[in-house]
Amino acid sequence: QVQLVESGGGSVQAGGSLRLSCAVSGDTYGSGRMAWFRQAPGKEREGVAVISTGVGNTRYADSVRDRFTISQDNAKNTAYLQMDNLKLEDTATYYCAAGQGNSLLWWALPTKYNYWGQGIQVTVSS
């Protein structure tokens, strides 16, 4: 059974930083892709960033490019999302997701992922 556990969320003032972690257990890390999604109240779940675990290629949503960085530690089976210069509109529940295959085509579609974490809250205040 594959499990994804997020950590690192919380509250921060606008302009601040947070780093989210997603630990993966129960599967071989390095043969697929890991992504971060977020969902704000009343909005659809949106893709934030993705990394192919074998090659390390990345993609970002336009709204977070140059502010967020996705990375991984294959030895720890863990993916990270470094969030800098946070804005009020970044407030949401953040989810990590794992999918099979290294292709990043259509990476932002939630249906492309087999496993999901429980979600973690990020709140940005003024």
Binning pLDDT at 50, 70 and 90, where does residue 101 land? confident
The pLDDT assigned to 69 comes to 98
Name residue 27's amino acid. Answer: D
* pLDDT tens track for 49-93: 999 988 899 999 999 999 999 999 988 999 999 999 999 999 999
The pLDDT assigned to 30 comes to 61
Name residue 121's amino acid. Answer: Q
Which pair of tokens denotes residue 92? 């949401």
CB 38 within 8 A of CB 59: no
The pLDDT assigned to 28 comes to 64
d(CA 38, CA 49): 10
Classify residue 65 by its DSSP letter. Answer: T
The pLDDT assigned to 29 comes to 61
Q: Indicate if the alpha-carbon torsion angle 105, 47, 20, 115 is positive or negative.
A: negative
The pLDDT assigned to 63 comes to 97
Element (H, E) at 34: strand 32-39
Q: What is the overall mean pLDDT for the chain?
A: 94
* pLDDT tens track for 2-21: 899 999 999 999 999 999 99
